[in-house]
Structure 1
Amino acid sequence: MKYFLLLFSFMAIQAADKPNILFIFSDDWGWEDLSCHGHPYVKTPNIDRLAKEGTDFYRFTVASGVCSPSRAAVVTGQFPARYSIDGHFAWVPSNAKRGMPDWLPTNAPLLQRFLQKAGYRTAHFGKWHLANNMIPDSPLPSEYGYDEYGAFNCAGEQMPYHEDSMHCIKFIEKSVAEKKPFFVNLWIHEPHTPFHTQPKYEWRFRDLPEKDRIYASVLSHADDRIGDVLDALDRLKIADNTLVIFSSDNGPARAKSDSQHRLMYDTATGAGWDVGAAMGITGGRKGWKACVYEGGIGVPFIVRWPGKVAAGKINKVSPISAVDLLPTFCELAGAKLPADYKPDGLSQVQALIGKDKETTRTKPLFWKMPNKVPASKVGGFHWVTYAVMHEDFKLLANHDLQYFELYDIVNDPMEKNDLKENKTEVAQKLLKQIKDWQAELPTEPTGDVFSSLREIK
């Protein structure tokens, strides 16, 4: 009897030591779309609070310039190209035309399942987009290892986007009552189109021009909802044992300066303003959404964990990727990874707690986008098909590797100085890494990842 009491006490202590994890993933939020990053008029006091009470990492990158691949990387810890997910999930004909599956396979290695086995309650609230609401036979989020969910851009009923924080708080309260550690994805809609404005938030920015007012108001609405969740952590007295991360799935969408904004309708979230009112900024980073220059993949990454992660600090040296989140969270949770699991990411626990002073990483990072631009027509930001970052350098190349650019990404994070003529050996080494990586990738999607709608002609 004494043995079982001791064992129970040990297990209870272990559960108490496991941090809660809240991962806030915004949609198209530009690096400078935060008042703590110097935005000229956007106000984000609640996210700013996370930065003040935590560490702001400047070298975080997502795994794609668009949403679905970035999200797949987070939950699998692997490059999305391994699942033939190179673009966003759309309706079936578009997925088929682009050589994509119709959803992320449900048997993929998944962060939330690993955490469930470690004793965590798991939930997802907000945008899904690892399938699409226009694919009615796609698996529901509940089939991916979540105890609870409320989502949009998925099959089934579409949760109103603005109810994300409400459901998140209820789940957290329930987990605390059950004395269970929790993992929550809070994947917010903002500032993706349609821009759903509300008078209360537009009034806050009433002196701005209309497009700026629209953009600032939707960010302010999102920041308020994040604040509601942070307040709940305080009220429940669990903030000190909760790791909170705020980030974005890619850089901001950006319309031409003379674009007119018009009303549009989205089948998942309803009516709102279109991309003409997109006013996101990147802090000087090159490019925008849908590219793999730093403006498309270099996004906010703010981490708060009181007493563990330094408060009020800025980290400009640690290169962290979306594929690193799975091994990082699993290490913190004491979750064991399967022996046959091959992560593309690395645990970044040492970086989070301020003990990693390195500017390099042992594994290269790769990107793949569905672009096929010949070398003779390269221009703008959206010609890149492949990119690799290793040690101090980042190389971007077109689809047949006949045109490429090379940057010292540590000393030139704005990608202003192309070094391919001066660093030919480095360029060739990185090109070979891309070729070797290409050989590992599937030529087409396989498995139970196709809708029955493909059979209808």
Structure 2
Amino acid sequence: MRPILALLLAFTLSAAAAEKPNIIFILADDLGWGDLGCYGNRVIQTPNLDRMAREGMLFTQFYVNASVCSPSRCAFFTGQYPARHQIHGHYADPKMNEARGMSNWLKPEVPNAARLMKSAGYTTAHIGKWHLGSNSGGPPVGDYGFDFVGTSEKDGANGPAADPYFRANSTALFVDEALKFIEASQETPFYLQLWTLVPHATLNPTPEQLARYARLRAGSKDFPHASAMQIFAASVTNLDIQIGRLLEGLKKLGKEQDTLILFSSDNGPEDIHIVNAGHSGVGSAGPFRGRKRSLYEGGIRVPGIVRWPGKVPAGRIEDKAVMAGVDWLPTICKIAGVNLPEGNALDGEDVGDVLFGQSRQRTKPLMWEWRFNIAGEPFHHSPELAIRDGNWKLLMNPDRSRVELYDVTQDLTQLNNVAGQHPEVVEKLAAQVTSWAKSLPQGPRDSSAGKIHVGMPGKPDGRPVKSGGKKAEE
């Protein structure tokens, strides 16, 4: 009798696992909305991500919930606005975190995607960049609910000084680790976070990677040198090549049909004026105003591609529905049959119906804050607060200065401020975002936050200025 019961139990577990998709979340670093061929780029070759878009769904209105690294990642991972966890900018050393009113790391006990998926029988892994506290001496990544942790910046993802091409080859390393993890995950569904280092500065492609874009070389015939665009394009194309390896590996392992994949970026492209980041600063925000650190569209609207063969409609360009980073956790939990913990309020919403073909407006507005300087081009210096509800987006400072209202479905570059023409919309949205901002943990703000400052020796995200100008945050 016992062998029969064991067989029935094994069959039941196997059937349950078959109903749960494997889930892969690929997150690029500082990749802009317009940096992929499927988003209209005609310089950079991204055939594998373009194919992924043809075989799945491409969102034209995909948002992250912060304009820099750490808070954006927190939103994906927790389904909550990052300020709830005192993550306002990028995590740095404890002294700098304290000066900005920040925690030193995301608390491991906070309900998160890895721990929740693990509770539903998933094997979990994180490979690549983390930046949710490791810079500040935080807990090991495995403490957050991961069964396997691959290379991360805490144990060398930025590479030994003796290897100038570590970052250039890092995505290949991450994919190698990912394929080994996937091959080992035969008995249970898996949840994998693969967060890349590129195209974040400082980029240094290998000669082989640069050769693909020899036509973009700068200088004279006798003294040629790599241009910023050559460096950036080579880096993005290599990222695409490695994602192609991952897709092919899934196919060979027989897991292509039952794997849901999201590809996105943590924020918009870097500003070209930032020291040591010029070659990343040629990334494209598409038609949008704003870049990294800005709350204008280019800083927070990013690529969003979802593929699940046979489930997510192939070749769909979703230009009506709005999806955001905070929606990731509630959506995958619903798809995987995960029970969300009681009392843990989420800021995102389940958009599984959108992934499966329904096109609709979201039910919750989206809100953002940025408490620090925005270095670089003054045109991108946004107010401190922003809210999007329907087609309207309002930007303003807490004291209600610089009130700007745009229909972002029509005014993509956010040039035509119509606040004066729609006072009732302004009042409604201003009340919402002001109430939300007051509910957040209070902390210091830069004196120039929310202001347009020209010729200022800026400190992006509170980083102290060194001689020579502004330095990019990691």
TM range (shorter): 0.7 to 0.9
Determine if contact 1:251/1:298 at 8 Å carries over to the other structure: yes
Matches within 5 A, 1:206-355: 206-209=214-217, 210-256=227-273, 274-355=277-358
SS for the counterpart of 2:380 is coil
Structure 1 residue 304, shift from structure 2 partner:
0.7
**8 A Cα contact 1:383 1:398, kept in partner:** no
SS at match of 1:200: helix
Secondary structure (helix, strand or coil) at the match of 1:429 reads helix
CA contact (8 A) 2:229 2:279 kept: no
Q: Give me the whole-angstrom Cα distance separating, in 1, the residues matched to 2:373 and 2:397.
A: 7
Once the two structures are superposed, residues 110-168 of structure 1 have per-residue CA deviations (whole angstroms, 9 ceiling, x without a partner) of 111000000001101111111143x3x311111111111124333x4547534111111
Aligned equivalents of 2:34, 2:354: Cα separation in 1: 22
- CA–CA distance in 2 between the matches of 1:29 and 1:298? 10
* Structure 1, 4-13 or 123-132: larger mean CA deviation: 4-13
Q: Distance in 1 between matches of 2:126 and 2:81?
A: 21
SS at structure 2 position matched to 1:387: strand
SS in 1 for 2:48: helix
Q: Secondary structure at the match of 1:170?
A: helix
Cα contact 1:371–1:399 (8 A) shared by 2: no
Q: Quick check: 1:371–1:383 contact (8 Å CA) kept in 2?
A: no
CA distance in 2, matches of 1:363, 1:211: 40
Per the TM alignment, residue 6 of structure 1 is displaced from its structure 2 partner at its CA by 4.3
Native 8 Å contact 1:127 1:152 kept in 2: yes
- Say which of 56, 60, 63 aligns to 1:61: 63
Q: Secondary structure at the residue paired with 1:142? A: helix
Given residue 181 of structure 2, which amino acid in structure 1 is its aligned partner? Answer: F
Aligned length: 420
Partner of 1:172: 182
TM-score (norm 1): 0.88
Q: Which residue of 2 aligns with 1:142?
A: 142
- How far off is 1:223 after superposition? 1.0
1:195 paired residue number? 203
State the alpha-carbon separation in 1 of the partners of residues 433 and 84 from structure 2: 14
- Aligned-pair CA distance for 1:9: 2.6
TM superposition shift of 1:108: 1.2
- 1:318-347: CA deviation from partner (whole Å, max 9, x where unpaired): 111100000001011111101111110001
How far 1:313 moved relative to its partner? 1.6
Give the SS at the match of 1:202: helix
**1:417: which partner in 2?**
416
What code does the residue aligned with 1:170 have? Answer: K
State the alpha-carbon separation in 1 of the partners of residues 409 and 35 from structure 2: 23
Distance in 1, Cα, partners of 2:105 & 2:8: 46
What is the CA RMSD across the aligned residues, in angstroms? Answer: 2.0
Whether the 8 Å CA contact 2:285–2:298 is kept in 1: the answer is yes
Aligned to 1:370: 371
Q: 2: distance between equivalents of 1:130 and 1:96? A: 15
201-210 or 363-372: which moved more? 363-372
Tell me, yes or no, if the aligned pair for 1:131 and 1:153 is still in contact at 8 Å. Answer: no
SS of aligned partner of 1:60:
strand
Distance 1:283 1:157, change over 3 A: closer
**Could you say which residue in structure 2 is the equivalent of 1:380?**
379
Whichever residue aligns with residue 226 of structure 1, its letter is I
- The residue aligned with 1:361 is 362
Give the Cα–Cα distance (whole angstroms) in 2 for the partners of residues 425 and 283 of structure 1.
31
Per the alignment, residue 399 of structure 2 pairs with 400
Residue 122 of structure 1 aligns to a residue whose secondary structure is: strand
Which runs of no fewer than 5 residues in structure 1 stay unpaired?
265-273, 446-457
Give the counterpart letter for 1:83 in structure 2.
H
Q: CA deviation at 1:247?
A: 0.5
C-alpha distance in structure 2 between counterparts of 1:411 and 1:60, whole Å = 16
The letter for the 2-side match of 1:11 is: L
Aligned equivalent of 1:88: 90
CA distance in structure 2 between the aligned counterparts of 1:26 and 1:158, rounded to whole angstroms? 14
Partner of 2:112: 110
CA–CA separation in structure 1 for the residues paired with 2:9 and 2:56 = 35
Identify the residue that residue 48 of structure 1 maps to in structure 2: 50
Task: Decide whether aligned partners of structure 1 residues 277 and 115 sit closer, same or farther in structure 2, where only a CA change above 3 A counts.
Answer: closer
Gaps of 5+ in 2: 160-169, 218-226, 445-474
Q: Is the aligned partner of 1:125 residue 2:127?
A: yes
8 Å Cα contact 2:27-2:263 kept in structure 1: yes
CA distance in 1, matches of 2:138, 2:86: 17
